[in-house]
Each structure stands twice: as C-alpha cells, then as structure tokens.
Amino acid sequence: MTIFSFNPKRRFFRYRWAKFLPISRRLNNFGDLLGPIIVAKLLADKQLHQSAVSGGRTLFTVGSVLHFAKDNDVVWGSGRNGKIPADRHLFTKLDVRATRGPMTRGFLREYGIEVPLIYGDPALLLPVLFPELHERIAKRRPHIFIPNYNDINLIKTKVPIISPNQNPWKVIDIIRESEFVSASSLHGIILAEALGVPCRVVLSRTENTFKYLDYFLGTGRQHIDFASDPEEAEKMGGHEHMIWSPDRLLSSFPYDLFL
C-alpha cells in the first residue's frame, strides 16, 4: 500500500526561462511530510509492515489532498483543499475512516460516500506517538512566524520567519522552543496546539479559508478569528483550547489493511 505524501518538484528559479533547465528540487513542505512518519510509527508499534499489503490502493492521511484520491483509496484524517473545484474530485467511492473536520465530511457525503463522525488531523497525534516531545525544553524564541509555503514572500513582518520547507523534526523543535507561534501554515498551528504552544492563525494571502475552518470545527471550536499579520496575532494572543481527544482518531487507524 502507498502512503500518500504531497511533495512535488519545483524549479530552483521562478523565471519563465527556468522551465527549460533540467534543475529542480522537492518542495519539502514540512506539514506534507508528516503523514508517512505517523503511519510508520503506528505500524512499528504494532509490529506491522507497510509492504505487507498490495493491491494498488493509497492511504491518504495528513494534508488537503482529497483531490488526488481515486476509487477505493483509504482516507484517514485528510481534508479537502478549498481551492480545488469539486469537479476535479474524480472518485465515486472511498474507504473513509476519519476526516480532518466536518466540512470535509459534508463534502464527501455529497458524493454519497459513507463518512464516520471521527475528526482530527493525524499530526495532532505526534506527541502521543512520540512521548519524548513532552519533555521540557528551554524557550529560546519569544515569537516565531511560520508561513504557508505560498506565502513566504507575501507576508511582511519583523517577527522571525521559520521556513516551512525543511525537515519536520527541525520545525517541531523550533515550535517547542517558542513561547508563541503565528502561522499561515495550517500545520504550524496544528503542531503548536498539539505541543501546547499558544498560537494564532494569520490570514493567508494565497490559501482558501476552508482548511482552517474545517480543522477548527473538527477540534471543537465554532469560530476562528484570523490575524492580518504576525504582529496583530501577538496582540490577539492564542486561540481557545481544543475540545478534542486523540482516542477516536487513533482507534480508527486502518490497521486491518496491514494484517
């Protein structure tokens, strides 16, 4: 079975002529790299192996990636990307174990797909799966800003900017070292909340608000106030705490596919 991870190649240069150069690199957006890490840990804890299953199906986990799914693929905690038109979702049947939030669930139900009332982004499980993340760490950074990778050059701020295009464990450690996180990166917010670091969403200059609303609704918040920039985010302070437990998301993981 394939564990889906969105990590396309991007050109080194943004100029039009760069498309003629045989030079590119992976995007390596940290949030999109978390799914395989989480699945590998869940399987290892049960002494199961990803390679034990064949059949061409794909497991979708972390990310706004539903538009890549095909018939009979498996969904565990994924969400819809609000920028993608409905007619680009070409599936008619999916094996859904959980969705990121109720907005994604409602979208899938319009296709006649059965979807359980189980919500949560799997990235929220990282401190459960890796208890060492609960260890105390020196708070060396008062405030950091993590942009969505499409916002990197669009949101101006004096707050230290943490690139989202790097190793997930490095970003996790930086978040743990921080007293406050502002982010237009959804997974900057999700990881901060999972790790108990106060945080606030900064309105993205490029992203649809669907995924943010979907996540917050799925974790028990009925309203979300966006900040216009990191400075305003700091003045607003952190979001209200989640009303969410990891138990149902954990128990819904499709272990049966790997037996």
| Higher local confidence (pLDDT), 100 or 11 | 100
Task: Name the residue type at position 52.
Answer: A
Residue 29 has pLDDT above 90, yes or no: yes
Least confident of 23-27, 87-91, 137-141, 168-172: 23-27
pLDDT (tens digit per residue) in 208-220 = 999 999 999 999 9
Residue 13 has pLDDT above 70, yes or no: no
User: Between the CA of residue 100 and those of 138, 142, 156, 212, 228, what are the distances in Å?
Assistant: 31, 30, 30, 10, 24
Mean pLDDT for the chain overall? 92
Taking the model in full, what pTM does it have?
0.92
Residue 123 has pLDDT above 80, yes or no: yes
Residue 222 has pLDDT above 50, yes or no: yes
Mean pLDDT of 71-76: 97
- Per-domain boundaries in the chain: 2-125+248-258, 127-236
pLDDT (tens digit per residue) in 137-178 = 999 999 999 999 999 999 999 999 999 999 999 999 999 999
